[in-house]
Amino acid sequence: MLTEITNQQIKDFRTATDDKHNNIIRRAVTKNGIHSASFDQEIANINTPIFSIDLDTGKVANQKQSGRCWMFAALNTMRHDIKDRFHISDEFQLSQSYTLFWDKFEKANYFYENVLKTATEPLDSRRVSFLLTTPQQDGGQWDMIVSIIEKYGLVPQSIYPESKASSATAELNNTLNTLLRHDATVLRGLVAQQASKDKISNARNEMLANVYRLLSLTLGEPPVQFDFEYRDELHNFHVERQLTPQDYYQKFVSWDLDEYISVINAPTADKPFDATYNVDMLGNVVGGRDVKHLNVDINKMKAFAISQLKDGQSVWFGVDMGPQVDRESGLMASGIFASDDLFNVDSTMTKAQRLDYGESLMTHAMVLTGVDLDENDQPTKWKVENSWGEKVGKKGYFTMSDDWMSEYAYQIVVKKEYLSSELVNIYDNSKPTLLSPWDPMGALA
Phi, psi of 335 (to 5 degrees): 85, 0
Terminal Cα distance for the chain, rounded:
41
Find the catalytic residue in 47, 62, 69, 295: 69
**Which percentage of the chain shows pLDDT scores above 90?**
98
Q: What pLDDT is stored for residue 90 in this prediction?
A: 84
Burial of 11 per CB tally in 10 Å (0-12, 13-18, 19+) = exposed
Q: What pLDDT is stored for residue 149 in this prediction?
A: 98
Strand pairing of 379-385 and 226-231?
unpaired
| Overall average pLDDT of the 419-442 stretch | 97
Phi, psi of 423 (to 5 degrees): -70, -35
| Overall average pLDDT of the 269-290 stretch | 97
| Overall average pLDDT of the 430-444 stretch | 97
Domain limits of the chain?
A: 45-440
User: For residue 144, which of 288, 326, 351, 315 has the smallest C-alpha distance?
Assistant: 288
Find the catalytic residue in 62, 114, 278, 386: 386
Q: Check: CATH 3.40.50.1820 for 45-440?
A: no
Distance (Å, whole) CA 154 – CA 252: 9
| Overall average pLDDT of the 210-233 stretch | 96
| The three-state (H, E, C) secondary structure of the chain, written as one string | CCCCCCHHHHHHHHHHHCCHHHHHHHHHHHHHCHHHHHECHHHHHHCCCCCCEECCCCCCCECCECCCHHHHHHHHHHHHHHHHHHCECCCCCECHHHHHHHHHHHHHHHHHHHHHHCCCCCCCCHHHHHHHHCCCCCCCCHHHHHHHHHHHCCCECCCCCCCHHHHECHHHHHHHHHHHHHHHHHHHHHHHCCCCHHHHHHHHHHHHHHHHHHHHHHHCCCCCCEEEEEEECCCCEEEEEEECHHHHHHHHCCCCHHHEEEEECCCCCCCCCCEEEEECCCCCCCCCCCCCEEECCHHHHHHHHHHHHHCCCCEEEEECCCCCEECCCCEECCCCECHHHHHCCCCCCCHHHHHHCCCCCCCEEEEEEEEEECCCCCEEEEEEECCECCCCCECCEEEEEHHHHHHHEEEEEEEHHHCCHHHHHHHHHCCCEEECCCCHHHCCC
Confidence of residue 89 (pLDDT cuts 50, 70, 90): confident
Distance (Å, whole) CA 54 – CA 41: 24
Distance (Å, whole) CA 149 – CA 138: 16
Distance (Å, whole) CA 94 – CA 81: 12
Q: What pLDDT is stored for residue 69 in this prediction?
A: 98
Q: What angle do CA 128, 165, 321 make, to 5 degrees?
A: 65
| Overall average pLDDT of the 45-61 stretch | 95
Residue 45 known to be catalytic: no
**For residue 234, is pLDDT > 90?**
no
Q: Is 281 left (phi over 0), alpha (psi -120 to 50) or beta?
A: left
pLDDT in tens, 246-257: 999 999 999 999
Q: What pLDDT is stored for residue 1 in this prediction?
A: 86
| Overall average pLDDT of the 304-319 stretch | 98
pLDDT in tens, 73-83: 999 999 999 99
Find the catalytic residue in 177, 278, 295, 364: 364
| Overall average pLDDT of the 407-425 stretch | 98
Confidence of residue 209 (pLDDT cuts 50, 70, 90): very high
Q: Is 431 left (phi over 0), alpha (psi -120 to 50) or beta?
A: beta
Q: Which residues sit opposite 160 in a β-bridge?
A: none
Residue 69 known to be catalytic: yes
**For residue 86, is pLDDT > 90?**
yes
Residue 21 known to be catalytic: no
Distance (Å, whole) CA 300 – CA 252: 31
| Overall average pLDDT of the 354-381 stretch | 97
User: For residue 260, which of 339, 147, 123, 343 has the smallest C-alpha distance?
Assistant: 147
